[in-house]
């Protein structure tokens, strides 16, 4: 069994010029694609299903199952199929896909070839966040290298399989990480989530069968092809197998990307990251970005896999672990997050658009010492009116920090209202002071 710390996804990251095709090829690169192209596409889908690879974008949907939703036929009158890579990494705290594409872009490209082959797609789009120009350049250079080496284009490696990859820069909207909004944006429209059904596998990009996968998901594919599903399942837990890149940020000694099998606990990860910065104790943390309800020091031993996080009342999300020590005010942090959601709400549906606007104002008022105890209940009720009522999951994510923050740290919110209590008793009539 592999050592839990033996890197898989990040194994090339420290090699010199790790992003070059030559480095990649020296280190087992493009060996998986050669195997894959010799097998029938269905076998690839079955392999990924057997491996139990779950989506790394946050929701953890089984990748093989998603692939199998794509129509089988690709000949004759069948519509073209598309593979779209969601590289719009925007979740606060998440920094795994961009480092991956910077350090090892060819692993993504190889994954794209195998996944496209499995789903009979001949066009693959990589939708990258517009802000990360350096990453877009590197990815473009890697795609160019791959074309030159015959890994992309017509008749790849003599297999008869054709694939084109287009790297597309987004325009910097959090909502475009939502897969259907991403597709609209990719089509040149306003990035807002689409009504489902039809699901992308039926009518996605340009209304053609489309699969949208996260960067890390697809970059994992070549290793599975090389290592096999049994090897893959040696890592992680039964329902959440495989390695995962944890983005650790905040008050730790050495923030960064840490690869570890799913099911690793924060206590173990903190050890890897050198412990809490300056030894100041942990107060709260997010397991998978700000959209996942926060955890506290009580949750240090929660296994960080899809089931473990959910059981403990949160979600694994993007495994963006933001660590906050005791110097940080929870209401303040919650306010900052809420301002983010207010800014990024796409505006399509009422609960998210209006709700985030309202909640941000209440929190700003509260942090300024002008809140009331009643505001806390109002906030919770407004959260209840957003959660599960909004069009897409952005609204659900927006209420996570507030609900969990109040759940674990209600006292801090109440303390902010204390000052205001005395002022309130001497309520004045509007306009009384002429």
Partner 1 sequence: MTIAPENTETEVPEGHVKLVVDGEEVIAPEGELLIRTAERLGTVIPRFCDHPLLDPAGACRQCLVEVEMNGRPMPKPQASCTMTVADGMVVKTQKSSRVAEKAQEGVMELLLINHPLDCPICDKGGECPLQNQAMAHGRSTSRFVDTKRTFPKPISISTQVLLDRERCVLCQRCTRFSDQIAGDPFIDLLERGVHQQIGTAETADIHNSASHTSSGTPFQSYFSGNTIQICPVGALTSAAYRFRSRPFDLVSSPSVCEHCSSGCALRTDFRRGKVMRRLAGDDPDVNEEWSCDKGRFAFRYAAAKDRIRKPMVRDESGELVEASWTEALRRAADALVAARESNGAGVLTGGRLTVEDAYAYTKFARITLRSNDIDFRARPHSAEELDFLASSVVGTTPEHVSYASLEKASAVLCVAFEPEDESPIVFLRLRKAARDKGTKVFHIGQWTTSSVRKTFGELLACEPGGEAAAVDGIAEHAKDLDAALSSDDAVVLVGDRAAEVPGLFGAVTRLAERTGTRVAWVPRRAGERGALEAGAVPTLLPGGAPVSDASARATLETSWGLDSGTMPAEPGRDTAAMLAAAASGELDALVVGGVDPDDLPDPAAAREALANVGFVLSLEMRPSAVTEHADVVLPIAPVDEKTGTFLDWEGRVRPFSITLEGTGALPDCRVLDTLAVEMDADLFTQTAQAAWSDFSRSRVVSAHQGSNPDQHSRPAASTPDTPDGTVRLATWRQLIDNGSLQVEEPHLAGTARDAVLRMSAATAERHGVTRGERATISTERGALTLPVEFTDLPDDVVWAPARSPESIRSVLGAGHGASVALSGGAR
Q: At its nearest, how many Å lie between partner 1 and the CB of residue 386? A: 8
CB of residue 262 to partner 1, shortest distance in Å: 24
Choice between 239 and 365, CB closer to partner 1: 365
Identity of the residue, 112 or 309, whose beta carbon is nearer to partner 1 in the bound complex:
309
Q: Shortest Cβ distance from residue 13 to partner 1 (Å)?
A: 35
Contact residues toward partner 1 (CB under 8 A) are 173, 175, 190, 192, 195, 342-351, 353-358, 361-362, 365, 378, 381-382, 384-386, 388-391
Q: How far is the CB of 339 from partner 1 (least distance, A)?
A: 11
**Rounded least distance, CB 399 to partner 1, Å:** 12
CB of residue 362 vs partner 1: minimum separation in angstroms? 7
Distance CA 253, CA 372 (A): 37
Nearer to partner 1, 23 or 385 (CB): 385
CB of residue 275 to partner 1, shortest distance in Å: 39
The residue among 96 and 129 lying less far from partner 1, judged by its C-beta, is 129
Cβ proximity to partner 1: between 31 and 378 the closer is: 378
Name which of 41 and 170 has its Cβ closer to partner 1: 170
Measured from the CB atom, is 274 or 369 closer to partner 1?
369
């Amino acid at each position: 069994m592999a050592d839990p710390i033996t890197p898989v996804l990040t194994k090339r990251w420290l090699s010199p010029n790790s992003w070059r095709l030559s480095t990649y090829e020296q280190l087992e690169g493009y060996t998986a694609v050669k195997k894959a192209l010799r097998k029938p596409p269905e076998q690839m889908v079955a392999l990924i299903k057997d491996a139990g690879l779950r989506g790394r974008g946050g929701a953890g949907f089984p990748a093989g199952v998603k692939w199998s939703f794509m129509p089988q036929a690709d000949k004759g009158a069948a519509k073209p199929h598309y593979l779209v890579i969601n590289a719009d990494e925007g979740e606060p705290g998440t920094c795994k896909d961009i480092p991956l594409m910077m350090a090892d872009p060819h692993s993504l490209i190889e994954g794209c070839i195998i996944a496209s082959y499995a789903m009979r797609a001949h066009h693959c789009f990589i939708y990258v966040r517009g802000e990360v120009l350096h990453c877009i350049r590197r990815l473009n250079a890697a795609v160019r290298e791959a074309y030159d080496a015959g890994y992309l284009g017509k008749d790849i490696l003599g297999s008869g399989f054709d694939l084109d990859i287009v790297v597309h820069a987004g325009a910097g909207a959090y909502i475009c990480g939502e897969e259907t909004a991403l597709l609209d944006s990719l089509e040149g429209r306003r990035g807002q989530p689409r009504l489902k059904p039809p699901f992308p596998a039926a009518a996605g990009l340009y209304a053609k069968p489309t699969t949208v996968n996260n960067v890390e998901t697809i970059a994992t594919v070549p290793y599975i092809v090389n290592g096999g599903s049994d090897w893959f399942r040696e890592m992680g837990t039964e329902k959440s197998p495989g390695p995962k890149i944890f983005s650790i940020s905040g008050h730790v000694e050495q923030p960064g990307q840490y690869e570890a099998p799913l099911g690793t606990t924060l206590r173990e990860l903190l050890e890897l990251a050198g412990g809490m910065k300056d030894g100041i104790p942990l107060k709260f943390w997010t397991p998978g970005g700000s959209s996942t309800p926060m955890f506290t020091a009580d949750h240090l031993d929660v296994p960080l896999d899809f089931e473990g996080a959910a059981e403990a009342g949160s979600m694994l999300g993007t495994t963006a672990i933001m660590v906050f020590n005791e110097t940080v005010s929870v209401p303040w942090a919650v306010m900052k997050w809420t301002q983010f959601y207010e800014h990024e709400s796409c505006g399509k549906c009422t609960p998210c658009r209006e709700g985030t606007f309202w909640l941000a104002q209440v929190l700003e008022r509260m942090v300024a010492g002008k809140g009331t105890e009643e505001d806390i209940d109002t906030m919770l009720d407004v959260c209840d009116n957003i959660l599960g009522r909004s069009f897409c999951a952005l609204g659900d994510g927006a209420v996570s920090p507030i609900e969990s923050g109040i759940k674990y740290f209600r006292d801090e919110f109440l303390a902010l209202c204390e000052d205001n209590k005395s002022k309130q008793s001497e309520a004045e009539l509007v306009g009384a002071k002429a």
